[in-house]
Each structure stands twice: as structure tokens, then as C-alpha cells.
């Protein structure tokens, strides 16, 4: 099936800056798209866009279908890249049947879903009932756009979310999530006379999606930079600066720390770092083969974090749980509960901010895990705040749209697809709260490496996804 129209729209989308919270240009692009085609279009106060198209001839009596995707993307890049997500177009290549962005995220999560909906709106030859294409904002920072959707903004009772990442799978449930954030306040102290200031860097981790990839055993840059600092602390070093990780829903690929070392301990600290690097390379040889380690002297004109606070921060970062906390007892292979130690950053006002995210398909377990993380941070002296979170999506195995999707896939390809729930968060959980009678499913083409540089789209899977989507619309 020719998906060139879908790809053409996606290529246009890759040229539009659309980091979460900064979707103004993609919103304007969608509004122009609708106006140029005389389609019904409305935009709410947060930037969600709904574009509707009347039913094809012969489909006027069928129920309206909502096609839904999010317009924002996770903006991650390699530490060596000078890419500016606020203005630069995404650079991608086609290699071995994959569309790949080597140095940044590609934004196929969820730009390819947006492009597929646009291709349906653009093509009068496609058979479909009335469609309402809902494009939400700020999905990646807490599903904020979906949270803001008001009753009446969409009217359809069947929703197809285009944000799943494994072709041949139909998603009927997902985890809920929330953030737990700890803020430490420190006092700046003077450096020890004669101290040598060195920046230690851990880089090259694969990272990935904190839901889909949390079970892969990949290195966590936040925890490992803290582990190194813990090992050298007896050398009476001072911590000047620490930074690791970035987005709440991405696994930290590396980290760095600026350390003031007493001159008498410099050789010992460097030797410890080299030994530490060798151990980590061995520990993560399979999961993160591209790890690299650097130690370089730096000119430092400021002071350091007071030792008591620095020690408490290091201990907290080592102690906060990270990874899978529980597997589902009901669905074999499904991660039930997890937590991501996402980031540590220094902010103005002498503050050190630690970001974490908890997920679970069991709401009470997510709350309990959040309490555990918060307790570690509070015991270490941090001020803790938690987001309201978003609910999970409970599977409905009697879903009509699920049955249509499964039948379409089996008819087209001759074998059963996989029906599953996932550990990542989808906006469907919030839509369940707002529209209790909504029948929903999620599916999409195959993506790999989302939320990290190297994100890629399998073009053959895009063809199969497109065939199924059109057949489902024809048969709903």
C-alpha cells in the first residue's frame, strides 16, 4: 500500500518545532491545513485542535469515529549535537527500510499518527464515516492537552488512538502515571585552597522510553554519576555541579559532575574513575555498548555545594528506586509498576532538583511507589511535590472497535494480531474519565528508540498499519 502521502505530511511535520509546551507552529500548520480544504476546525484555549470531515458517500449513517494523536514530541539529542529544537528541522535518513534520526529524536512519536490522520482528511477517495481528528498538545509532559479536552469538543463515541508503537499489536489498556519531584536547597562554600577542579562525564547510554524500555536493564545516568560520587566522597572532594538526565519520561543516558579535588587526592580520584569506568563498561556491555567516560580539567570561578547537602543528595540518588517494581499477575509479561529516576538539575536560587516518574496499571501500587520515592527524598532533606497524575486505562475485552480491528487484521494478513495492554501511558486513560461510554483502541506502526537519539520508524510496518487503518474505517 502506498503510504507516500502519510510520509509527505510527516516530512513537513519534521520541519516544524513542536517541543512540549511550544506547539504554536504545529497548531497554526493544522489550522491552515483545515482552512485550505474547507474543513471544520476548532481550537481550544490550550491548543488542542479538532478537524472534522463529513462521511464518504454511503457512510452517512455510520457513527462518527475520532482519530487521535498528539502534536508535541520529546526533544532529546546527543551531547555532541548543536541541534536547536526551537528552529532546526529534524535531520533523518532512510537506512535498511527505517527512517532514522541519528543525533536527535525523530518525533515519529507521535508525528506519524498526526500525519496519518491528515492523510485521511486530505484524501476524498478514502471510504470512512464522519471523522473527527483530535490533535492534542503536551502529551509528553503529563497528558496536559487530553486533560484539558472539554465535553462537546468531540462528539464521536469510538476513538482510535494512533500512538502505539508496535505494528501487529492492538492496545486496549495502559498504565497511569505521576511525577515525584524533590528540591534540595544548598549553601555555597568556598573551594579548598589548591583544589583541582575536574568534570567527570558518563555518556553513550541508550536511554529510551521510561515505560516501554524500563525493563531493558539499561544504564541510568543519574544513579551512576551518584554512584561514582559516593565512591570518591572519602577523598574529601567538593561537589561543584551535577547534571544528569532530562525528560521525566526518558531514561537518563548519562550525566556529569564537576568536582573540586584536593591536590593530594587527584591521582587517587582519577584512578578510581578509570576503575569505575571499566566496571560499568563490563556491567552494561550488552545493554549499553556505546558507553564512554571522560575526565577533563575545567576553570571554575564559583564555589561548591556545602558538603552536608551534597552528601544527602548523593545518598538520595543512590537510594531512590529505579526500574521495574512489579510484574502483572494477570497478564503474563506485562510490567505492572515501575519508577524512573529521570533527572538531577541545578537551578537558580541554590537549588538542586531531582525528577522522577512512577507508572502502574494498579492505581494503589502507583501511589505506594510514589510514597516510597517521596520518603527517600524527604529523609534526605528535600522538599517534595507530586503531580496530580493521570489514570490508567482498564481493558475492555468486549470492545466493538477491538473486534473490528482484529477481524480486519486477520482478513488482511491471515493471522491473529496481538491484543494487549502496555506499561506506557496513553491519553485514553483520561478520555475514559471524561467520556465513560467511549469505545477505544490504540495502534500504530513500529517505532524503536523513542524518547532518545536514534529514534526510528519501520517503513514496511507503516504500510501495514495504513492498510489496517483504512480497512477498519471502512468496516466500523
Residue of 326, 323, 306, 303 lying closest to 314 (CA atoms): 306
Rounded to whole angstroms, the Cα distance separating 43 from 22 reads 15
pLDDT above 90 covers a percentage of the chain that reads: 92
Higher pLDDT, 388 or 283: 283
Q: Does residue 86 surpass a pLDDT of 70?
A: yes
The DSSP output letter for 129 is: S
**Is 164 known to be catalytic?**
no
Q: Check residue 329 and give its pLDDT.
A: 86
Distance separating alpha carbons of residues 245 and 203, to the nearest angstrom: 10
The pLDDT value recorded for residue 330 is: 78
Predicted local distance difference test score (pLDDT) of residue 424: 86
Neighbours of 97 (CB within 10 A): 12
Q: Identify whether the C-beta of residue 445 lies closer than 8 Å to the C-beta of residue 457.
A: yes
**Catalytic annotation on 463?**
no
4-175+392-475 shares its CATH topology with 178-386:
no
pLDDT band at 389 (very low <50, low <70, confident <90, very high): confident
Catalytic residue selected from 23, 109, 132, 139: 139
Per-residue pLDDT reduced to its tens digit, 436-460: 999 999 999 999 999 999 999 999 9
Q: How far, in Å, CA of 92 to CA of 350, rounded?
A: 39
Banded pLDDT at 79 (limits 50, 70, 90): confident
**pLDDT digits 0-9 by tens, 306-316:** 999 999 999 99
Q: Taking all residues of the chain, what is their mean pLDDT, rounded to a whole number?
A: 96
| pLDDT tens digits, 227-250 | 999 999 999 999 999 999 998 889
Collapsing DSSP to helix, strand or coil, 361 comes out as coil
Neighbours of 94 (CB within 10 A): 12
Given this model, what pLDDT does residue 331 score?
Answer: 81
pLDDT of residue 425: 86
Name the fold adopted by 4-175+392-475.
Aminopeptidase (3.40.630)
pLDDT digits (tens, 9 = 90+) for 392-436: 898 888 999 999 999 999 999 999 999 999 998 899 999 998 999
| Mean pLDDT calculated for residue range 42-71 | 98
In the set 23, 72, 109, 179, the catalytic residue is: 72
Short-list 220, 219, 242, CA closest to 229: 242
Second-level CATH architecture of 178-386:
2-Layer Sandwich (3.30)
pLDDT at residue 1 above 60?
no
- Reported as a single tens digit per residue, the pLDDT across 328-339 is 887 888 899 999
Neighbours of 383 (CB within 10 A): 12
Q: DSSP letter at 284? A: T
Q: Summarize pLDDT for 345-373 with one digit per residue, the tens.
A: 999 999 999 999 999 988 899 999 999 99
pLDDT at 2 over 80: no
- pLDDT recorded at residue 242: 98
The CA distance from 324 to 62, in Å, is 43
Please report the pLDDT score of residue 256 as a whole number: 97
pLDDT in tens, 176-202: 999 999 999 999 999 999 999 999 999
Cell numbers standing for residue 115: 500525519
CB-based burial, 2-41: b 16+ in 10 Å, e otherwise:
ebebbbebbeebbebbbbbebbeebbebbeebbeeeeeeb
Strands (E), 147-301: 158-161, 169-174, 176-185, 188-189, 196-203, 238-245, 255-261, 292-297
Q: Which of 159, 161, 169 is nearest to 413 (CA)?
A: 169
pTM: 0.82
Residue 108, helix vs strand vs coil: helix
Domain range summary for the chain, segments of one domain joined by +? 4-175+392-475, 178-386
Amino acid at each position: 500500500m502506498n503510504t507516500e502521502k502519510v510520509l509527505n505530511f510527516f516530512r513537513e511535520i519534521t520541519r516544524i518545532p513542536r517541543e512540549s509546551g511550544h506547539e504554536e507552529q504545529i497548531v497554526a500548520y493544522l489550522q491552515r491545513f483545515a482552512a485550505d480544504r474547507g474543513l471544520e476546525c476548532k481550537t481550544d484555549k490550550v491548543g488542542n485542535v479538532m478537524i472534522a470531515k463529513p462521511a464518504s458517500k454511503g457512510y452517512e449513517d455510520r457513527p462518527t469515529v475520532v482519530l487521535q494523536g498528539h502534536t508535541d514530541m520529546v526533544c532529546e539529542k546527543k551531547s555532541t549535537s548543536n541541534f536547536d529544537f526551537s528552529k532546526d528541522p529534524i535531520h533523518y535518513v532512510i537506512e535498511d527500510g527505517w527512517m532514522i534520526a541519528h543525533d536527535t529524536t525523530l518525533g515519529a512519536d507521535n508525528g506519524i499518527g498526526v500525519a496519518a490522520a491528515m492523510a485521511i482528511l486530505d484524501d476524498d477517495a478514502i471510504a470512512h464515516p464522519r471523522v473527527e481528528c483530535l490533535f492534542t498538545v503536551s502529551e509528553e509532559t503529563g497528558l496536559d492537552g487530553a486533560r484539558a479536552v472539554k465535553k462537546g469538543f468531540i462528539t464521536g463515541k469510538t476513538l482510535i488512538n494512533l500512538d502505539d508503537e508496535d505494528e501487529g499489536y492492538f492496545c486496549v489498556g495502559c498504565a497511569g502515571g505521576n511525577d515525584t519531584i524533590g528540591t534540595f536547597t544548598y549553601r555555597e562554600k568556598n573551594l579548598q585552597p589548591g583544589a583541582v577542579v575536574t568534570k567527570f562525564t558518563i555518556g553513550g547510554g541508550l536511554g529510551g522510553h521510561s515505560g516501554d524500555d524500563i525493563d531493558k536493564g539499561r544504564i541510568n545516568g543519574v544513579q551512576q554519576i551518584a554512584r561514582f560520587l559516593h565512591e570518591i566522597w572519602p577523598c574529601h572532594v567538593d561537589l561543584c555541579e551535577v547534571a544528569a538526565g532530562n525528560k521525566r519520561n526518558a531514561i537518563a543516558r548519562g550525566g556529569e559532575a564537576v568536582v573540586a579535588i584536593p591536590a593530594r587526592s587527584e591521582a587517587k580520584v582519577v584512578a578510581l574513575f578509570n576503575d569505575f569506568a571499566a566496571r560499568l563498561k563490563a556491567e552494561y556491555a550488552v545493554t549499553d555498548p556505546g558507553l564512554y567516560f571522560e575526565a577533563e580539567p575545567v576553570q571554575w570561578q564559583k564555589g561548591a555545594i556545602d558538603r552536608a547537602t551534597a552528601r544527602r543528595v548523593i545518598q538520595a540518588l543512590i537510594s531512590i528506586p529505579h526500574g521495574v517494581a512489579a510484574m502483572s499477575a494477570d497478564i503474563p509479561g506485562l510490567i505492572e509498576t515501575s519508577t524512573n529516576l529521570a533527572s538531577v538539575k541545578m537551578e537558580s536560587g541554590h537549588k538542586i532538583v531531582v525528577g522522577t516518574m512512577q507508572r502502574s496499571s494498579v492505581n494503589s501500587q502507583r501511589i505506594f511507589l510514589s510514597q516510597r520515592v517521596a520518603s527517600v527524598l524527604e529523609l534526605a532533606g528535600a522538599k517534595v511535590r507530586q503531580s496530580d497524575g493521570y489514570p490508567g486505562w482498564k481493558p475492555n475485552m468486549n470492545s466493538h472497535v477491538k473486534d473490528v480491528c482484529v477481524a480486519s487484521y486477520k482478513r488482511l494478513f491471515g493471522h491473529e494480531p496481538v491484543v494487549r495492554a502496555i506499561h506506557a501511558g496513553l491519553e485514553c486513560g483520561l478520555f475514559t474519565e471524561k467520556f465513560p461510554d467511549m469505545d477505544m483502541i490504540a495502534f500504530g506502526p513500529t517505532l524503536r528508540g523513542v524518547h532518545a537519539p536514534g529514534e526510528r520508524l519501520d517503513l514496511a510496518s507503516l504500510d501495514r498499519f495504513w492498510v489496517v487503518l483504512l480497512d477498519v474505517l471502512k468496516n466500523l
